[in-house]
Structure 1
Amino acid sequence: MMYFLPWEAHVLTWSEKLYRQMIVAAAPLMRTVLERSSRYRPLAGRFWMQPCSVPPGGIWFHACSLGEVNTARPLLRDAEEMWPDCPVLLSASTISGYTRASDLAGPGRSYWFPFDDPGSLSRFFNRAAPQVIALVETEIWPGFLAEAARRGIPVAVLNGRISDKALPRYRRFGALFRPAFAKLALVAAQNETYAERFCMLGVPESRIRIAGSLKFDAVTLEPDPDKQHHLRACLGLSGSGSGAVVVFGSTRPGDELLAADCIDALQGDFPEVCWIVAPRHVERADEIDRVLNRFKAVRLSALRSGKSRPGKVVLADTLGDLTGLYSLASVAVIGGSFFPGVEGHNPLESAALGVPTVYGPYMGNFPDAAAALERAGGSLRLADPEQLKETLRRLLADSEERVLVGSRGRKAVQAGQGAVRRNLACLAEIIPSENHGGQGR
């Protein structure tokens, strides 16, 4: 089944015209600022198109940041099997997301998502020339959707969600975003709540499906044994006297102070425990180092290079190691969930590996995942940060509870899988019928 947008979708509204003028005026300044920034210079790549090795007529997947790129991984894998004659490319908007996308898709198939000015968009669309675009989760850029509509390229949202934080913003600027949402050819929403929000923001109900959350399919059920062995050796966990491991994963500002309080309170009672702090953004390593300084924390990068000897407190300042660290963990604590503002990170990554998973009250980014784990007794949600110390004390002292909670969490993840197949079935609705021959392979 193919979707064709009505003629109104190709006509820019006054708000879209005003937005376009503002973006055109701002683009040169933005590019100059980024090119002169030592920290954000790579983002200047969003203004120009890298060499493209993908022939025209491919499927363009876009995933904004690191989390969305990891979520997109099984989509790319299965899409290549379903449509072997359709090349697949992957774009990202953040530095960490682009780095991961390059690892997954390889050179010539991974790109910076273009800035929303007409020049950047035109360069990208001219070179990539996709036949269909799939946005993973939700990143709505009015200029991008207008350009796709002008060229007759259908855009779908897969694993669609509108967070509690994003909804008021989209509604506040409805004059700009309603026409953008109306240009979406199809939305595969994670659940009924998100489906209703897409409809509220301008997507016709006939174009909305409910396909479940890809988070369950994107996580790893079995650790990489080579990476696990290497990390174990780096951390000095190879001996028989190795104790438990507590991983504070994807930490945000404030989480490291909470972790330090827990280590300070529990290290005396559990001297063999290895405490690992893995920040969401590794560029904050120097800042976190100061918080953990009193514990003589060692950096994982230094352990990998042999410049430091293993210690009991480790700052994971490397990219791509979180899953491996979770595979060694006795307990996982999810960052961004104990204080308002971030709304949590993915609890399924640790739960899938059978690790008892603890998080705070703020899990608005992963409501379905948290609810599924909690229904199964496969995670522990704490009402406030003050409960974390005693919860960790109890879990470290009770290996049976750790095994029970971890086992239940892993089973809950397995029960929730299957969304990749459902999302790609939705995408198939807007892919030309002559390209469906590969389905089912």
Structure 2
Amino acid sequence: MLILYNFGIKIYYFFIFILKYFNKKAKLWFDGRVGIFDNIASKVDPTVKKIWFHFASLGEFEQGRPVLEEMRKIYPDKKILITFFSPSGYELRKNYAGADYIFYLPMDTASNARRFLKLVNPEIVIFTKYEFWYHYFRQLHQSNVPLYLISGIFRPNQPFFKWYGSFNRKILSFVSHFFVQDEGSKELLKAIGITNVTVSGDTRFDRVAENAAAPKRFELVERFCYNSKVFVGGSTWPPDEKLLAELVAKYSDWKFVFAPHEIKADKINALIGLLPANTTVKYSEIKNLTGRDDIDQAIRGRSVLIIDNIGMLSSLYQYGKVSYIGGGFGVGIHNTLEAAAFGIPVIFGPNFSKFLEAKALIANGGGFTISNSGELLEIMGKLQSEEFRSKAGNAAEFYVEKSKGATGTILKYIEGKV
């Protein structure tokens, strides 16, 4: 099986090499790893021990961020190193001030793992939620470097729990301790003989609660939303946007703020094409305007503000009365907790089965799933009632509040091992 794994790693690398000529993200992924060891060697002192955090992408970074930032406070003299697998994490957080070093993770080969760990010299290592790399995990285990998985979530259909999953189970055996989100994950691991597990919950709750307590303010958004009921659509995709366009046409007394998942010009223009004529204004069109009259003129009569940049969404929900989270008509919904933390109802599409928080929000009345325009219009009709809307929003916020604390549980266990 190891032979197949190594072969698969090489095939993946070759596939990205070809794809980089046609795909910007693939090019960033590939080019970011060119000369990576020389880059690391030029910046990192291998004689100094470090705390290494690895994140697959931006979502995992935000999930593990509370632990990282608390460890920075507890151990201010320790060097912190971050690696990312995906460009969507690295490119957006490569200048993050909370870490001393930020790199792409070299491909998982035996030689790369040995070379990387020799250069980095980690004292402890923390992976968040996903990504199980055989050679890195094995090398850490052989070097007696503690490896922790935080906010882990496991499901019965994963290879670890199948008859053919012995190789995958071997990877898990290299982890020093698992911090999982729920009892179900703990029981699944127990069934395959893994008992070094703590049910800590999900660190995302700590992160979104912290963000909701002190969100960034956006003066232009506030002026657009002024004294209106606001609907925020976050990380939307075209299938979501086709449905949301019906709401714009029906509810002229609402303002809509959309932050699409993809912000390329053609995607933004396609979204504008779905919406009623002369209802939209792009954030990029008003952000450089300096005169109040110019700004007021640009937003006058517009009911839809399209956020055509990255980095604002997590704080945009503060202006909303209702939220819709995209991705539910594709591979899966995006972050529902960011909206729930602000105490507003959360609507999302049908593909949410892998997301415990979505199921919990539905169960407590703070979240609503829809499969078509009729269902969206029906729930939006109910949310016109301030009483119904407030009850749902309170339920969403309560769920976030009662679920906080994973960061403290993790740090209590790790503290003293650094």
What TM-score do the two structures reach when normalised by structure 1?
Answer: 0.80
Match of 2:237 among 252, 255, 264: 252
- 1:217 aligned onto 2:206: yes
Higher alpha-carbon deviation: 242-251 or 166-175: 166-175
- The residue that corresponds to 2:196 in the other structure is 207
Give the Cα separation in 1 of the matches to 2:303 and 2:161: 46
Alignment of 1:291-302 (within 5 A): 291-295=271-275, 296=278, 297-302=280-285
Count the aligned residue pairs: 399
* Superposed CA offset, 1:101-142 (max 9, x none): 335345742221222234543443232211221111121122
Q: 1:103 to 1:358 in 2, by over 3 A?
A: farther
Q: Report the 3-state secondary structure (helix = DSSP H, G, I; strand = E; otherwise coil) of the residue aligned with 2:228.
A: coil
Higher alpha-carbon deviation: 372-381 or 72-81: 372-381
- The residue that corresponds to 1:363 in the other structure is 352
- 1:353 aligned onto 2:342: yes
The 8 Å contact of residues 61 and 89 in structure 1, kept in 2 or not, is answered as yes
Give the Cα separation in 1 of the matches to 2:172 and 2:414: 17
- The residue that corresponds to 1:64 in the other structure is 56
What displacement does 1:229 show? Answer: 2.7
Q: Report the 3-state secondary structure (helix = DSSP H, G, I; strand = E; otherwise coil) of the residue aligned with 2:244.
A: helix
Higher normalized contact order (CA 8 Å, seq sep 6+, divided by chain length): 1
What displacement does 1:209 show? Answer: 1.6
Alignment of 1:255-294 (within 5 A): 255-264=240-249, 266=250, 270-283=251-264, 286-294=266-274
Q: State the AA in 1 paired with 2:407.
A: V
- 1:328 aligned onto 2:311: no
Q: 1:25 to 1:390 in 2, by over 3 A?
A: closer
Give the Cα separation in 2 of the matches to 1:398 and 1:170: 46
Give the Cα separation in 2 of the matches to 1:168 and 1:279: 33
Give the Cα separation in 1 of the matches to 2:266 and 2:60: 26
* Superposed CA offset, 1:23-58 (max 9, x none): 357646644653775443221224514443576321
Q: 1:179 to 1:344 in 2, by over 3 A?
A: same
- 1:196 aligned onto 2:187: yes
Give the Cα separation in 2 of the matches to 1:334 and 1:347: 6
Higher alpha-carbon deviation: 120-129 or 55-64: 120-129
What displacement does 1:419 show? Answer: 0.8
Q: 1:103 to 1:355 in 2, by over 3 A?
A: farther
What displacement does 1:246 show? Answer: 1.0
Q: State the AA in 2 paired with 1:293.
A: G
The 8 Å contact of residues 246 and 330 in structure 1, kept in 2 or not, is answered as yes
- The residue that corresponds to 1:11 in the other structure is none
* Superposed CA offset, 1:341-367 (max 9, x none): 523222221111122222244323421
Give the Cα separation in 2 of the matches to 1:145 and 1:417: 29
Q: State the AA in 1 paired with 2:320.
A: A
- The residue that corresponds to 1:229 in the other structure is 219
Match of 1:305 among 278, 283, 288: 288
Match of 2:378 among 390, 398, 403: 390
What displacement does 1:156 show? Answer: 1.5
* Superposed CA offset, 1:378-409 (max 9, x none): 333446553111222332x3233323322232
What displacement does 1:294 show? Answer: 4.5
- 1:243 aligned onto 2:228: yes
Q: Report the 3-state secondary structure (helix = DSSP H, G, I; strand = E; otherwise coil) of the residue aligned with 1:260.
A: helix
- Percent identity between matched residues is 25
Q: State the AA in 2 paired with 1:418.
A: G
Alignment of 1:144-159 (within 5 A): 144-159=136-151
Cα RMSD (Å) of the superposition? Answer: 3.0
Q: 1:281 to 1:113 in 2, by over 3 A?
A: farther
Unaligned runs of 5+ in 2: none
The 8 Å contact of residues 345 and 365 in structure 1, kept in 2 or not, is answered as no
Give the Cα separation in 2 of the matches to 1:70 and 1:197: 26
The 8 Å contact of residues 54 and 87 in structure 1, kept in 2 or not, is answered as no
What displacement does 1:330 show? Answer: 1.5
Give the Cα separation in 2 of the matches to 1:54 and 1:377: 52
What TM-score do the two structures reach when normalised by structure 2?
Answer: 0.84
